[in-house]
Structure 1
Amino acid sequence: MPSSKPSSSLQKNQDEISQSSDTRDEENHNANGTASSEQQADQSDPKLDWLQHCHRYSQLLMALVEPNTFKVQYANDYFCQLTGLTTKETSLAEQEIRLTDLLVNFQTKAIESLYRQHLLLLILRDIYHLEVQGKRLLEQPVIVSVKSPLYPEPRLIEFTFRSQQLKVTRRQSQDHEFADWDVEQLLVEHDSVKLINLSQLPIWTKQLRLEDYQLSGNLLVEGSDVTERETIGQLIELLIEQKSMLQADKFFQINQHLRSLFRATNTLVLQAEDELMRLFIPPEPPDTSPLELKSTAYSRDSLSSSHFLQAADSNQVRNIPDLSQDCPTDCERSLAVKGVRSLLLIPLVVKDTNSSNETGQLAGVVGIMSDHPHHFDELDCQHARELMPAFTAGLRQAIQRHFSHIHPAVEWRFMQEAERRSWGLPAEPIIFTDVYPLYGISDIRGSSNERNKAIQTDLLVQFNLALTIVEAVEKHQGSAFCQQLRLDLLDYIEKLKIGVKVEAEVTAQKILREQLEV
């Protein structure tokens, strides 16, 4: 690694901030020294006041680190609070804490890659005296997970390096990594000016030997908390993918993201099916991925006065600050009995594209639950509004997959016809003309039923074999996990005896693959 020379004014400025801060706190808490404190404030250096204000109240994470070791030399208050650093007994420089020590799972690769990129551009500037095309490369951020005592889960921080004030010199060395490179081949001509071809920079970065260079100065690191932004992006990506959001494993992932974003206890989905409303709630504890989602059915009439349908009628996010004080239906009373106090409802209404009014068909309602009253605020409502289109698309797709199975090869024609009808055009029969199949299919009456019976028999055999294995393991070395797995298998065997459909076949295979196969 290249060595560095720390800035001589760094410790001085930090000591001045610390001394000024300590003096201010002591005077403000001394009731007998009010006049003295005001006089001291009048005589204080305005430059120090602004520096102290930025140090204490900025919501931008700022730190100075040694470029060779990433040891933190200085950090503002927000950086220290978020990462749990303290300077009460010893200064940060004396604690020898590295920036990479604060990351989850030591994500040093992303940080080091960005650092090497900055160092390479500095080498080209200070040693080769080459003008670099596109200074935006120096502003490229990196997103990493940072442990924080303020939150139960790691935070996603977007770090940016500011390396312009660093100076690079070459150590005395007989050879260097670019000795065999023709620098002229890495230059491009633009308006009579030679610039670096940025497409070649990754190759140079890999060849860079950090120990051949010496740096002076400190690297400024700026960061911002982008956890909420990234979580919303991950949720939208999950919701719009083809897999149904009501499949257990995907719903588990969505639930985890929602709990993190809204600091919630759990989530629910109320799906509309004609005159029925089907309520899906992940089992407790919500940290465990369920084998399948269980639902409770309610008639639409029984929910006519509920907060769910009120949110759907207004098509607006609805915040219920204290559910225990307002439970108009049995459904909401059952939630209150389970300990739900706050409820944030996101209505999912599918609007008709050829209609000018604001009403549409109710697809369902997503509910975010908390066991604390008055938990959700306006920022939570704003995040919920951002997720409404993605949730609507995800639940509509789940409903379509549940009721219709159209082969992807012909799905386009059905989508085309649906779009025609949305324009108010008369219905047309869906016919495929001039089609020459490469193979023929015989439509045998009852073939689907016979196929399902054969699959049912096969799955029952496999699940009974799996049950035998689990019971043998439990007998040899009993554990709570084996007992629970045995109960889950028994429960699923009873469901298989009732009947098998395509969804059940896929779920059963997934259970065997993930829970039992080695």
Structure 2
Amino acid sequence: MKVLTAHPGVFNDDKIIESNISFVPFLNFLKEKAKHEDDPRSSFYNLIIQKFENNPDTLKSIPPDADLSAYKEYLDLLIAAIFPVTADSSKDIYGIGVPFKFAIFYYSDLFKKLFTEDGNELTAIPHGISLGKVKKDKIAWLYKLILERIYHFPVNYQNDIIHTIETPDGGKRYVKVNIDPRFVDVKAKGELPQLDYNQFCSRQITPETIQQLLPTDLFTLEGFVIWTVKDVTQSETLNNIKGLVMNMRTSNEVESYQKLEKMIPSILGIPDITAHLVPFPKVNGKNVLEEQFSNTDPILGVGNKKQQQHFFQLLLDHLESHPTPLIIPDVHDATVAAHGFLKYLPIKNIKSFVLVPITHKNEILGVLELASSIPNKLNANPLWQLQNTYPLLVLMLNRSMNILESRLNEVIKDQFTALQPSVEWKFVDAAWNYLLTPQEERKDIESISFDEVYPLYGAIDIRNSSVQQGNAIREDLQEQLELIRDTLETIGQTIHLPLLEELQFKTNDILNNLSDSLQAGEDLKVNEFMDQEIQPVLEHLCEGNEALKPVLQNYFAKMDKTEGHVFHHRREYEESLSAINMAISKYLEKEQHYIQSSFPCYFEKYRTDGVEYTIYIGQSIAQEKKFDPLYLRNLRLWQLSSMATIARLTHKLSPKLKIPLETTQMILMHSAPITISFRSDERRFDVEGAYNIRYEIIKKRIDKVHIKDTGERLTQPGTIAMVYSFAREMEEFKKYISFLQSKKILLPDIEMLDLEELQGVSGLKALRVKVNMEVSEL
């Protein structure tokens, strides 16, 4: 029998330790067994021992590269003793090899088929394992053997290696390789170093360290090792699926499903099929379909969202009434005709198909689909193989439901609620204290408040936004009225109806009286005229007169499909407004990370015509970090600098808008700390106390404040206005202004302004500075 070895350059085994084949350890093992006369096999053992001892050559060490053909009958006896008589060389995987070396000198036919590349060399490196890992494992195996046999240290052998095999049909199988060293003797060459077990095991020993303590050239190996291999595809695949489920999260969810789908054909033992697992999570009690799972699906991957949702609903209806596997061994138009959601299977060249609903507690969690391009490839027979996998599929689909819920909660938390990480800890504390209270003693949950916090308020407003909006509405109305007038004139040349003349008169009258600045409710009256008097007449004429269709279709083509009116001026205004607000919001969201990194604070941003924000900072918000006024000063400097950046940002964006819009920037300075509390009814923080309410009143009334005795608005494009009440607030901001002027961010000069009295508020003053629009971004 030919010795199978790995490529000679892979491991260089001969340079690590001397190793020879020997039958002596095996014979010594049999002699111990034969001593037990009550063992019915002792006579058989004695016959084998006698057979070997009658030939002294068999008791000598045999070099690993020797010709073993002379020992064939002895090897046959050895195999008969080690392996049961029921072993089948064509079905069982086993071999006998040289200790430590990748050299097998007796092996079953199936071993040779699976573990050789061309029948000549062993596949030495398992698939997916690095050469370095294999070498490290070999050294660890060797030293465990030495420590156990020479030093009698208790060693826990881990001789099993999971080997991945790519089968000729493209499938993947897992086999467990066990290398049994019981018939190996370790012999020492001369005097060996002393090792204390307690000291040896009290620290972590690396392979490099132990090789220095015990060089391998101090030992030789004699005997043989037994290689046994077991197909563990089912159990190993199940372990891999468990790992996928346990480690699945939002970032790798799709990838985890793809890996699982590649494993299912191996579990079923049908390599040339495809599997698709599609979760049907519930949102508000209704099953939904996520696009990330449906695009490649045989049933639902149709490329048309409307049709996809239609098929999805048909599938849900079917599963509700038939919660059992749907098996179609031979797919063609006739076999899928009864199921509308299977319409595209024949077109996709799917010739055999199985649909398995995955349910738990009578609720549908998703479906497993099996497909093949070969007719009759799939039937009900292999489905029992899913018995052990099914609970894992349930776990994975439930995990997807949890992931979706987390994603929904993140969106809700980010987009709709005021709860932020900087203050979340206090809500968690309150919730924990609530849970600690016995249920019968629970009342209302404790209120959430933060004392002694400093507010910072900023507002970026769209200059003359209401005027711009009114202009857009008036221009749309005027354009549509002119279009109605022209259309009625053209119709009047074809047919004569007094009613058309009357409508034309009304249209001209409305056009002539349309105000340059619309009065309240004026646009509603015009829209009512167009909807109730013009629209029905034109629609009727379009349906009843072929000659008028071109002109009327031209009119309807110019109407916005959603609004039913000329709407492009208003849409241009809304798109321009949205572009500015989005740019400001993105900038502030990015800056939030910067300001939170210096000291935790509560940042609340909301949109009006522009964007407003309020920031609260103080010791009561920080859970652990110590507050110092320098963090407040740093935040005020950031506030002024960021307003300059926003002014430049919107100025640069303005020429790109369909309707150029300008922004104004304002800061409210308030140096006294306040108390804020969470209002459960509005899901937001509000100020507490009579004095603190003054701050809120100022916030709400200064957006359109004028400079005293001038009638000029405080806020102007290209400037930053800073409103204050006390001289110390003004002096602080003047320092920041001077610093930013030195950096050319702000232009020279500062305006010192008195403001008009507001309802309930007097004595307000302001600083106003111009922003350098030419400075490059910092």
Question: The TM-score by the shorter chain falls in which range?
Answer: 0.5 to 0.7
2:365 pairs with 1:382:
no
Answer whether contact 2:141 2:159 (CA < 8 A) is retained. no
Q: Aligned letter for 2:163?
A: V
Instruction: State the match for 1:359 in structure 2.
Output: 362
Q: Aligned letter for 2:358?
A: P
> Which ranges in structure 1 are unaligned for 5 or more consecutive residues?
21-45, 88-94, 189-195, 350-357, 462-518
The 1:272–1:77 alpha-carbon spacing in structure 2 relative to 1, beyond 3 Å, is: same
The 1:382–1:57 alpha-carbon spacing in structure 2 relative to 1, beyond 3 Å, is: farther
CA distance in 1, matches of 2:91, 2:280: 44
Instruction: State the match for 1:130 in structure 2.
Output: 151
Which of these residues, 161, 164, 180, is aligned with residue 142 of structure 1? 161
Q: Aligned letter for 2:164?
A: S
Q: Aligned letter for 2:147?
A: L
Instruction: State the match for 2:276 in structure 1.
Output: 267
Answer whether contact 1:139 1:161 (CA < 8 A) is retained. no
Which of these residues, 195, 202, 205, is aligned with residue 183 of structure 1? 195
Which of these residues, 440, 463, 480, is aligned with residue 602 of structure 2? 440
CA distance in 2, matches of 1:80, 1:293: 52
How far is 1:254 from its partner?
3.8
SS at match of 1:343: strand
Answer whether contact 1:70 1:98 (CA < 8 A) is retained. yes
Within 5 Å, give how 1:34-433 maps onto structure 2. 53-56=86-89, 59=92, 61-83=93-115, 95=120, 97-98=121-122, 100=124, 103-104=126-127, 107-126=130-149, 129-134=150-155, 137-149=156-168, 151-171=169-189, 179=193, 183-184=195-196, 186-187=197-198, 197=201, 202=206, 205-207=210-212, 208-241=214-247, 243-244=249-250, 248-258=254-264, 260-262=266-268, 263=271, 264-269=273-278, 271=280, 278=289, 280-283=293-296, 296-298=308-310, 302-303=314-315, 306=318, 308-310=319-321, 313=323, 318=325, 320-322=327-329, 324=331, 325=335, 328-340=338-350, 341-349=352-360, 358-360=361-363, 362-372=364-374, 373=376, 374=378, 377-405=382-410, 406=413, 433=448
How far is 1:52 from its partner?
5.6
CA distance in 1, matches of 2:443, 2:248: 27
Give CA deviations for 1:113-154 in whole Å, capped at 9, x if unaligned.
Answer: 33323322332344xx432224xx2244232334443x5144
Aligned residues: 375
How far is 1:234 from its partner?
2.7
Instruction: State the match for 1:2 in structure 2.
Output: 17
The 1:155–1:449 alpha-carbon spacing in structure 2 relative to 1, beyond 3 Å, is: farther
CA distance in 1, matches of 2:239, 2:265: 15
Q: Aligned letter for 1:220?
A: I
How far is 1:6 from its partner?
1.8
TM-score of the pair, normalised by structure 2 = 0.40
The 1:12–1:278 alpha-carbon spacing in structure 2 relative to 1, beyond 3 Å, is: same
How far is 1:249 from its partner?
4.2
> Which ranges in structure 2 are unaligned for 5 or more consecutive residues?
1-15, 24-57, 63-67, 415-419, 454-599, 614-645, 654-778
Give CA deviations for 1:265-287 in whole Å, capped at 9, x if unaligned.
Answer: 241415255666537445499xx
The 1:301–1:110 alpha-carbon spacing in structure 2 relative to 1, beyond 3 Å, is: closer
CA distance in 1, matches of 2:237, 2:342: 28
SS at match of 1:237: helix
The 1:106–1:139 alpha-carbon spacing in structure 2 relative to 1, beyond 3 Å, is: closer
Give CA deviations for 1:292-337 in whole Å, capped at 9, x if unaligned.
Answer: 998921366533553x4456x46xxx36252623553221232343
Cα RMSD of the aligned pairs, angstroms, is: 5.1
How far is 1:15 from its partner?
4.2
TM-score of the pair, normalised by structure 1 = 0.56
The 1:275–1:62 alpha-carbon spacing in structure 2 relative to 1, beyond 3 Å, is: same
Give CA deviations for 1:445-484 in whole Å, capped at 9, x if unaligned.
Answer: 3699999xx9xx9xxx9xxxxxxxxxxxxxxxxxxxxxxx
Answer whether contact 1:277 1:299 (CA < 8 A) is retained. no
Instruction: State the match for 1:508 in structure 2.
Output: none
CA distance in 2, matches of 1:322, 1:346: 17
Give CA deviations for 1:42-86 in whole Å, capped at 9, x if unaligned.
Answer: xxxx95897563142664x32222224311212223323433578
Answer whether contact 1:322 1:342 (CA < 8 A) is retained. yes
How far is 1:396 from its partner?
0.7
Answer whether contact 2:159 2:180 (CA < 8 A) is retained. no
How far is 1:377 from its partner?
0.4
The 1:252–1:380 alpha-carbon spacing in structure 2 relative to 1, beyond 3 Å, is: same
CA distance in 2, matches of 1:219, 1:449: 77
Answer whether contact 1:259 1:267 (CA < 8 A) is retained. no
The 1:364–1:321 alpha-carbon spacing in structure 2 relative to 1, beyond 3 Å, is: same
CA distance in 2, matches of 1:215, 1:447: 85
CA distance in 2, matches of 1:385, 1:13: 54
Q: Aligned letter for 1:381?
A: L
SS at match of 1:298: helix
CA distance in 2, matches of 1:441, 1:275: 35
The 1:144–1:50 alpha-carbon spacing in structure 2 relative to 1, beyond 3 Å, is: closer
SS at match of 2:289: strand
CA distance in 2, matches of 1:66, 1:339: 52
SS at match of 1:278: coil
Moved more, 9-18 or 273-282: 9-18
CA distance in 1, matches of 2:17, 2:82: 36
CA distance in 1, matches of 2:304, 2:327: 25
Answer whether contact 1:305 1:328 (CA < 8 A) is retained. no
CA distance in 2, matches of 1:383, 1:399: 26
Answer whether contact 2:116 2:122 (CA < 8 A) is retained. no
CA distance in 2, matches of 1:299, 1:429: 48
CA distance in 1, matches of 2:610, 2:136: 56
CA distance in 2, matches of 1:259, 1:448: 57
The 1:393–1:303 alpha-carbon spacing in structure 2 relative to 1, beyond 3 Å, is: closer
* Higher RCO (CA-CA < 8 Å; seq separation 6+): 1
CA distance in 2, matches of 1:247, 1:448: 38
Answer whether contact 1:348 1:366 (CA < 8 A) is retained. no
CA distance in 2, matches of 1:98, 1:447: 75
**Percent of pairs with identical residues:** 13
CA distance in 2, matches of 1:347, 1:391: 11
Instruction: State the match for 2:522 in structure 1.
Output: none
The 1:275–1:439 alpha-carbon spacing in structure 2 relative to 1, beyond 3 Å, is: closer
Q: Aligned letter for 2:356?
A: L
SS at match of 1:338: coil
Q: Aligned letter for 2:146?
A: I
CA distance in 2, matches of 1:140, 1:390: 32
The 1:446–1:86 alpha-carbon spacing in structure 2 relative to 1, beyond 3 Å, is: same
How far is 1:107 from its partner?
3.9
